[in-house]
Amino acid sequence: MNTDTETLYEELQNVLGKDQLSTNITVREQHGRDESYHEPSNPDLVVFPSCAEDVRAVVKTAAAHEVPVIPFGLGTSLEGHVIPYERGITIDFSKMNRIVEVREKDFLVTVQPGVTRSQLNKELKKHGLFFSVDPGADATLGGMAATNASGTTSVKYGVMRDQVRDLEVVTPDGSIIHTGNLAQKSSSGYHLNSLFVGSEGTLGCITELTLRVYGIPEHIVAARASFQELDDAVEAVVSILQAGVPIARVELLDETSMVQANRFSETDYHEKPTLFLEFHGNEAGLAQDVEFTKEIVADHGCESVAFETDQGARNRLWDARHNLAYAYIHGNKGKKMMVTDVCVPISELSGAIRDARKRLDTFGLTGGILGHVGDGNYHVLLMIDMENPREVEKAAQFNEQIVEYALERRGTCTGEHGVGVGKQKYQELEHGDSLRVMERIKEALDPKGIFNPNKLIKQKEAGQ
């Protein structure tokens, strides 16, 4: 510990319990990395608040010393959000993991930021409810709100931002504010909910969330449809959307991804480009939707389609999808994961995926394509040998080309993973003068620049 850290440690000891504070190197290392290829960097200290008042005390101490604070959920970020490159204090929310209230009649739930989505869904099930956002990883809800996470069900239920009704936030000046209310809609004041969702810890620390939940659908049918060509699978999705079928999930896996999924999840699905689909609704309506979808995929040369109505088979299917990132990691020991995350207008999706596939072959990189194609959001998952500078360079170039392709078509560089440090270099190109507006907001709300500095927005000088 250097002198500054020692001073900080002593001051924090006055406001937190002994077990809420650590400078242990193992603990610091756990908080110095995420699940991606981004280089690790440790915080000076890790704190474990138990309530908003604890967070406020930490923020006030940090502000007095102009030391960075970095909120941390479970570290499942793929863009380096939680890595403290400017050092400082990591605020770990694992002790704030309580489900505060389920308001069944209002379809709302209030949780602390350390609650994970699987923990929440386990509780909600008792009430016949579920939380819709499903990014694959079992992330914390605080982290999901901070990055505006989404996933397989967003095509029907929307993204994290659509579910947030209210946030309790500790702001850089140490205020504890509420960004919303419990009403279903409001035209009162600037919409702070949406500003803080996706702000990646740069404007405040989320200490409580009130989220919209849904009744578990009366009927659910899942399906796998495999195609000879990747392009046919993508075109089938566009047609399903065009036909107005209210699909709840529609995920694409290319051949490589199907091989990885089978190997890791011990399934025996066709190793061909495949759509994983799900339909939610009442029995009669759903039967009509399913029939219609069968016709559409057949028109697009679908080779085989299998429907799964029992929960066991459905769970196996979605587990295989959710474990895909881990399947790639497991199948490529010693390599690190880099995932592209662009989102394009649906009319540009086939072209974009065709282009990505071609570039992947040209670069000769190891990886596969998968994604939430109903939203126009797809990932190329690359496994990289970080010791091979040539491969690292190629992957970076590939990522850049994918982003440029999407931005030229008025898409976005990140559909759901967020900016963090990985997508920072594209912000100027994507936002132009809008970035000046974002910078002014950051300066106005965090004038000392201590909230997750140099994430999302590149600051002129750290601590200024």
Q: Could you say which residues in the range 68-107 bind a copy of itself, by CB under 8 A?
A: 103, 105-107
Shortest spacing between CB 432 and a copy of itself, in angstroms: 7
Of 311-340, binders to a copy of itself (CB under 8 A) are none
Q: Is 436 in the site for a copy of itself (CB under 8 A)?
A: yes
Q: Which residue in the set 18, 19, 26, 185 belongs to the binding site for a copy of itself (CB under 8 A)?
A: 185
Shortest spacing between CB 172 and a copy of itself, in angstroms: 10
Residues 369-388 as x/- pattern, contact with a copy of itself by CB under 8 A: ------xxx-----------
- Number of CB atoms found within 10 A of residue 229's CB: 13
When the beta carbons of 2 and 190 are compared against a copy of itself, the nearer one is 190
d(CA 34, CA 84): 11
Q: Is 197 in the site for a copy of itself (CB under 8 A)?
A: yes
When the beta carbons of 238 and 353 are compared against a copy of itself, the nearer one is 238
Angle, helices 349-363 vs 230-242, to 10°: value is 160
Residues 210-229 as x/- pattern, contact with a copy of itself by CB under 8 A: -----x-xx-----------
- Number of CB atoms found within 10 A of residue 6's CB: 12
Separation of CA 173 from chain center? 28
* Contact region with a copy of itself (CB under 8 A), list: 27-35, 189-197, 309-317, 322-330: 189-197
Of 30-69, binders to a copy of itself (CB under 8 A) are none
- Number of CB atoms found within 10 A of residue 73's CB: 28
- Number of CB atoms found within 10 A of residue 392's CB: 16
Q: What is the identity of the amino acid at 157?
A: Y
When the beta carbons of 251 and 430 are compared against a copy of itself, the nearer one is 430
When the beta carbons of 289 and 391 are compared against a copy of itself, the nearer one is 289
Half-sphere exposure of residue 39, counting CA atoms within 13 Å on the CB side? 5
Cα 451 to Cα 34, 139, 143, 185, 392, distances in angstroms: 18, 21, 15, 29, 30
d(CA 34, CA 83): 7
Q: Are 217 and 314 in contact (CB under 8 A)?
A: no
Q: Is 181 in the site for a copy of itself (CB under 8 A)?
A: yes
Total residues interacting with a copy of itself, rule: CB under 8 A = 93
d(CA 223, CA 197): 33
H/E element holding 383? strand 377-384
Query: And the tokens for 260?
Result: 């990885």
When the beta carbons of 332 and 399 are compared against a copy of itself, the nearer one is 399
Q: Is 309 in the site for a copy of itself (CB under 8 A)?
A: no
Give 139-161 as a DSSP string. -BHHHHHHTT---TTHHHH--HH
Half-sphere exposure of residue 44, counting CA atoms within 13 Å on the CB side? 18
When the beta carbons of 20 and 154 are compared against a copy of itself, the nearer one is 154
Of 134-173, binders to a copy of itself (CB under 8 A) are 147-150, 154, 159, 161-162, 171
Shortest spacing between CB 343 and a copy of itself, in angstroms: 4
When the beta carbons of 329 and 344 are compared against a copy of itself, the nearer one is 344
Q: Which residue in the set 86, 251, 289, 308 belongs to the binding site for a copy of itself (CB under 8 A)?
A: 289
Q: Is 351 in the site for a copy of itself (CB under 8 A)?
A: no
When the beta carbons of 336 and 455 are compared against a copy of itself, the nearer one is 455
Q: Which residue in the set 10, 14, 26, 189 belongs to the binding site for a copy of itself (CB under 8 A)?
A: 189
* Contact region with a copy of itself (CB under 8 A), list: 41-49, 50-58, 59-67, 236-244: 236-244
Q: Which residue in the set 2, 3, 26, 187 belongs to the binding site for a copy of itself (CB under 8 A)?
A: 187
Q: Is 238 in the site for a copy of itself (CB under 8 A)?
A: yes
Q: Is 127 in the site for a copy of itself (CB under 8 A)?
A: no
When the beta carbons of 285 and 331 are compared against a copy of itself, the nearer one is 285
- Number of CB atoms found within 10 A of residue 126's CB: 8
When the beta carbons of 16 and 169 are compared against a copy of itself, the nearer one is 169
Length of the chain: 464
Nearest to 194 by CA among 167, 223, 154: 167
Query: And the tokens for 2?
Result: 């250097």
Q: Which residue in the set 88, 142, 418, 453 belongs to the binding site for a copy of itself (CB under 8 A)?
A: 418
d(CA 367, CA 373): 18
- Number of CB atoms found within 10 A of residue 54's CB: 22
When the beta carbons of 76 and 179 are compared against a copy of itself, the nearer one is 179
Q: Is 452 in the site for a copy of itself (CB under 8 A)?
A: no
When the beta carbons of 114 and 418 are compared against a copy of itself, the nearer one is 418
Separation of CA 254 from chain center? 21
Q: What is residue 287's DSSP assignment?
A: H
Which residue is it, tokens 């201590």? 450
Nearest to 418 by CA among 147, 159, 201: 147
Q: Which residue in the set 10, 266, 268, 283 belongs to the binding site for a copy of itself (CB under 8 A)?
A: 283
